């Protein structure tokens, strides 16, 4: 792709642990693509976020593979290994790496929930982060946030997507249905035995 063509692209990064990725993540991305005419949304699984206990997270490669399977079902969504191998996952480093690898100085979007954006002033080099990207902020019931000076914020509202990865993991551990997961993601979880999932024992008639 030429630089002149890249300058016309509207790219967006969507970071998270995605442990596991579920349909609400995809619906958020689709809503952002439509609302802001995005060319592509890059799903960026975090390697080692400072606010999470790495020991409690599913292995990076498994989370990346689930993101890959989910993104295959939605046009303009693409998995990204931007944070693979990182000792710490800081947004400032992710943004700089993306811009460097794409040789871009054009506008870039970052898709984020209102609860996470409300804490932006606690992020590493947060003022520099504001210079490097526009934010698409997904509204959450009962969550308000201030907008720091010089922040470029685009609200994404009216999404009713009350799905929690914690609940999904609990049901997977019991072998219960998880309609919030793309079929390919559920199949991968079963194949790898993630989240404590175990194939139910087969009951056979006595001879």
d(CA 189, CA 52): 21
User: Could you tell me the pLDDT band of residue 25, with boundaries at 50, 70 and 90?
Assistant: very high
d(CA 114, CA 6): 29
The pTM for the full model equals 0.89
CB 14 within 8 A of CB 111: yes
The rounded percent of the chain whose pLDDT value lies above 90 is: 68
Place of tokens 């054009």: 106
Distances (CA, A) of 17 to 153, 183, 197: 23, 19, 19
C-alpha of 74 from chain center: 14
Weakest-pLDDT range from 41-50, 87-96, 101-110: 101-110
User: Could you tell me the pLDDT band of residue 207, with boundaries at 50, 70 and 90?
Assistant: very low
């Amino acid at each position: 792709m030429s630089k002149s063509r890249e300058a016309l692209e509207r790219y967006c990064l969507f970071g998270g642990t995605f442990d596991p990725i579920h349909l609400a993540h995809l619906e958020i991305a689709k809503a952002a693509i439509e609302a802001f005419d995005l060319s592509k949304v890059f799903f960026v699984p975090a390697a080692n976020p400072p606010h999470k206990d790495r020991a409690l997270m599913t292995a990076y490669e498994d989370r990346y593979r689930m993101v890959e399977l989910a993104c295959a079902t939605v046009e303009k969504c693409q998995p990204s290994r931007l944070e693979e191998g990182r000792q710490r996952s800081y947004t400032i480093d992710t943004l700089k790496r993306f811009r460097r690898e794409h040789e871009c100085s054009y506008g870039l979007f970052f898709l984020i929930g209102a609860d996470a954006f409300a804490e932006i002033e606690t992020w590493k080099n947060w003022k520099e982060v504001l210079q490097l990207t526009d934010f698409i902020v997904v509204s959450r019931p009962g969550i308000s946030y201030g907008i720091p000076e010089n922040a470029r914020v685009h609200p994404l509202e009216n999404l009713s997507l009350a799905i929690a990865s914690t609940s999904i993991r609990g049901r997977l551990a019991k072998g219960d249905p998880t309609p919030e997961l793309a079929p390919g993601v559920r199949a991968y979880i079963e194949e790898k035995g993630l989240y404590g999932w175990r194939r139910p024992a087969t009951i056979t008639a006595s001879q």
